[in-house]
Structure 1
């Protein structure tokens, strides 16, 4: 990343792992939304150790998207560690950014909705997270099994961590840079539990956030496999132990 990039006020990270095909479908839409936004945002495609061949594919995706929106960087982690690890690593590359966001590569949250989170964060002067809630202006399309698993996980989060939120796992968030830098040293979860740990540690540190309903559509080839539910519960237990040690 260039020194100029490190001066970015708003940074959006898309974590990817062997995701060039999925991102190639979403990138034009997100690039168009970024180009149409009335605020400067730097978009970072953050690869989680996919290897040289995948990096070459991502470079092509980036170069195509740059025809629409020029401020795109590709960050390549040295090894595969997980979504949480690569988001933290990419965010840390912008130590003076006011806003740090991330959005999943599958396009389950639209580009315009992601940009609305940045606009709301600026308006509220606070972190804003997307939540999967049906309203007059939002729609949710997910399988019954995924919806049940999601509700069960939220119940576990409330019971184990005393964290009240409509949705910890929606892949669209905008966090105050100040808040992330305050808690970064206490973030250890490298996988999908990164979102929960981030919110819990922000809450412990005295930071709040707004919650904005967004439309969400379940996509094929989800990274969330059946066995992930058990690993997520184990992660909640680890987070709980660390909180109790404070």
Structure 2
């Protein structure tokens, strides 16, 4: 029997400037179930992990480190491997969703096996108005590419808010090779191959999480190339 009902994994890379925001939002979380938090240092060089160990240490908190910067996918994989909860959720360090979303997605998965639930970003009217037309077209094109070329039929593959039963999470991530931002796609492809059910849960991203680090003119094309490599590799992989 697992020691915790839920493990939350936070990848950490040079987050010194956002530690106060993180602490504020984590303190707002309230669960009826036992929760473990796993922080994964992915090669930070700004001293943030040492500060976190001083400020955030507790019995339910685990600190693990990658030997070097692997990328978000590598950090999430390390965190899931270290998780002790019956269910494991990963999200971004800035805690980009409201507290009730954590409880809601956990309520949807609780009692289920062979299941992953992925967050689907619902945009507020303010965000829709400020979003550029090119970003909208790129998002539509990327999801269409995943659906018709790769065979992943989900609304939002890239939302950084996903939860698994622990067994399925570890089975999926132990087979993964991708460390970069395309890891979500490999994760969903492996879930399909392993017969893990994929469900969705609507989430509203908080508006003060800081600017995106994605270059909309370069990164989508890099991801397409990486995804094609993933698809080709999995055609011949034995799962």
**Common fold, TM-score beyond 0.5?**
yes
**1:215 aligned onto 2:225:** no
Is there any run of 5+ residues in structure 1 with no aligned partner, and where?
1-5
CA 1:146–1:202: 2 relative to 1, 3 Å: same
Deviation for aligned residue 1:234: 1.5
Partner of 1:41: 35
Is there any run of 5+ residues in structure 2 with no aligned partner, and where?
none
Normalized against structure 2, the TM-score is what?
A: 0.85
Q: CA separation in 2, counterparts of 1:107 and 1:176?
A: 21
Partner of 2:122: 133
Match of 1:195 among 184, 191, 198: 184
Any conservation in 2 of the 1:127–1:209 contact (CA below 8 Å)? Answer: yes
Partner of 2:82: 93
Partner of 2:15: 19
Residue pairs, 1:83-232, within 5 angstroms: 83-94=72-83, 97-122=85-110, 125=113, 126-133=115-122, 141=127, 143-144=131-132, 145-217=134-206, 219-226=209-216, 227-232=218-223
Q: CA separation in 1, counterparts of 2:195 and 2:212?
A: 34
Runs of 4+ in 1 over 4 A off after TM superposition: none
Normalized against structure 1, the TM-score is what?
A: 0.83
Q: CA separation in 2, counterparts of 1:17 and 1:81?
A: 10
Q: CA separation in 1, counterparts of 2:94 and 2:121?
A: 15
Match of 2:230 among 222, 228, 239: 239
CA 1:147–1:107: 2 relative to 1, 3 Å: farther
54-63 or 75-84: which moved more?
54-63
Where 1:186 maps in the other structure, the secondary structure is: coil
- CA RMSD, Structure 1 to Structure 2 (Å): 2.4
Aligned pairs, number = 230
Partner of 1:51: 45
Deviation for aligned residue 1:153: 1.6
**Cα displacement string for residues 171-222 of structure 1 (whole angstroms, at most 9, x for unaligned residues):** 1110121212323332111011111111110011111122011112453232
Where 1:12 maps in the other structure, the secondary structure is: strand
